[in-house]
Structure 1
Amino acid sequence: MVDTVYMTTDSVRDTLVQAGVELIEESETTDISLRAIARRAGVSHGAPRHWFPTHQRLLAAIAAEGLHDLAAAVRRGAEQGADDRIARAVGAARAYVDFAVDRPAMFALVFRHDLLEGSGARLRDTSQPLFRWWRDTIVAPGGASPTMPDIDAGALRLWTAVHGIATLSSTTALALIAPTADVGDLVDSTVRALMVETPMVDTRPRPE
């Protein structure tokens, strides 16, 4: 067992969060106990309570790690599209779905607001910037100037469509419903259809 007396607050906290991440990935479920996390971290059963007042608070910290990883994956996916906004959106969407399929339990935890509600953690500080970034991938300089609600609505339609594919794919429901469907092709066609249907272009002045 790790002696936490000689560990800094941040190191114990990080060890507990990492242990939780590992357990969620291995068990493929969000139903992990504080005892299980403490055991994996090598600390006493009561140790987590010193750094996380509630179970939900620790789960929220684990979810924040997942959100960070998801955001990084989506950005890397978008970079494959270079300066083409539709290609960037397709790349980001494919990365989003791949994350859900490769890490289904973490993907589920990130959006378990019923479980994380009341945790006291500010997950919105991570999730809202991700949505704003997602919104900006469908906004290009020049052309017509839609209102901000129009831009948000277009981004929301795109995100909810991709999230639906990701959720169905991560739970294998899509394979049961449409066993011959190619997920990559479905993502590609869905994103391209929505991008053409809602050609969002923003001419608001951008900072130098």
Structure 2
Amino acid sequence: MSESEMGLRDRLIEVGVDLVTREGAQSLTLREIARRAGVSHGAPRRYFPTHLDLLSAIARRGFADLGARAETAIGDDDGDGDGDGDTNPRAQLMTLGRVYLDFALAQRGMYELMFRHDLLESGTLGLRETSLPLFGVLVDLVGRVRPHADAAVVAGALWANLHGIAQLWGWGSLQLATGAEDFVPLLTAALDAHLGPEER
């Protein structure tokens, strides 16, 4: 693929990222992405044989963004806001949970796209290369807090809990049900439920 072809391929992805950020996952039609990229509606097919291929490339950007945010946050902060880079695994899990929920709520269109069943089931997304590294970080931290537990299972349950918080908070359901003004108490409760209460 020539440099100009790579440039157009990247531009199509960038347009898709911008479109999903501004208007949501439902706006990601091949025709609209091509129109905004300034190419014919058939041009994306040269680089992405199917619509799912293009959507998967856009979603991979979302996973990369989330992973980079998590890596930066965990490396720079332990959850107490002082930026001292401590390595307390429970505090790092709190930080990771905040990053995940902040991303899910601020990037709702991208978050929805990243977990679309048709993308995940198609195999085009490359789930192993995109989301599993971040899940591996979660498993490692859970294992350090609960060394005798099946860390992958506990991490999976915690991830499902975070995903549920993100969805229900985004819909306004949790605010209505709990009266919470932000998701931090729910995140703390989720960590306590899966890791046991924090020792004081």
Smaller-chain TM-score range?
0.7 to 0.9
Task: Quickly say closer, same or farther: Cα 1:145–1:168, change in 2 above 3 A.
Answer: closer
Q: Aligned partners of 2:123, 2:10: CA distance in 1, in Å?
A: 18
Structure 1 outlier segments of 4+, above 4 Å = none
2:59 is the alignment partner of 1:75: no
2:24 is the alignment partner of 1:20: no
Q: Aligned partners of 2:124, 2:154: CA distance in 1, in Å?
A: 31
2:49 is aligned to 53
2:121 is the alignment partner of 1:117: yes
Equivalent residue pairs, number: 190
1:194 is aligned to 194
In the TM superposition, what whole-angstrom CA distance separates every residue of 1:76-98 from its partner, at most 9, and x where no partner exists? 33331121111000000011000
1:206 is aligned to none
Q: What is the CA-CA distance between 1:22 and the residue it aligns to?
A: 0.5
Q: Flag structure 2 segments of 5+ consecutive residues without an equivalent.
A: 79-85
Q: Share of identical aligned residues, percent?
A: 38
Q: Is 151-160 or 165-174 further displaced after alignment?
A: 165-174
Q: What is the CA-CA distance between 1:57 and the residue it aligns to?
A: 0.6
Q: Aligned partners of 2:197, 2:8: CA distance in 1, in Å?
A: 50
- 3-state SS in 2 of match to 1:139: helix
Whose radius of gyration is greater, 1 or 2? 1
Task: Quickly say closer, same or farther: Cα 1:92–1:47, change in 2 above 3 A.
Answer: same
More contact order relative to length (CA 8 Å, sep ≥ 6): 1
2:31 is aligned to 35
Letter of the 1:105 counterpart: G
In the TM superposition, what whole-angstrom CA distance separates every residue of 1:116-146 from its partner, at most 9, and x where no partner exists? 53263423211111211211122229xx964
Contact 2:119/2:125 (<8 A) preserved: no
- 3-state SS in 2 of match to 1:52: coil
Contact 1:61/1:121 (<8 A) preserved: yes
* TM-score (normalizing by structure 2): 0.84
Match of 1:99 among 97, 103, 108: 103
CA RMSD of aligned residues (A): 2.5
Contact 1:161/1:190 (<8 A) preserved: yes
Q: Flag structure 1 segments of 5+ consecutive residues without an equivalent.
A: 1-5, 199-208
In the TM superposition, what whole-angstrom CA distance separates every residue of 1:139-186 from its partner, at most 9, and x where no partner exists? 229xx9647xx1211111221111211122233332343343431221
Q: Aligned partners of 2:90, 2:44: CA distance in 1, in Å?
A: 45
* TM-score (normalizing by structure 1): 0.81
Letter of the 1:94 counterpart: R
In the TM superposition, what whole-angstrom CA distance separates every residue of 1:2-43 from its partner, at most 9, and x where no partner exists? xxxx96222111100000011111112334210100111111
- 3-state SS in 1 of match to 2:25: coil
Match of 1:66 among 62, 65, 77: 62
2:89 is aligned to 85
Task: Quickly say closer, same or farther: Cα 1:55–1:136, change in 2 above 3 A.
Answer: same
2:146 is the alignment partner of 1:135: no
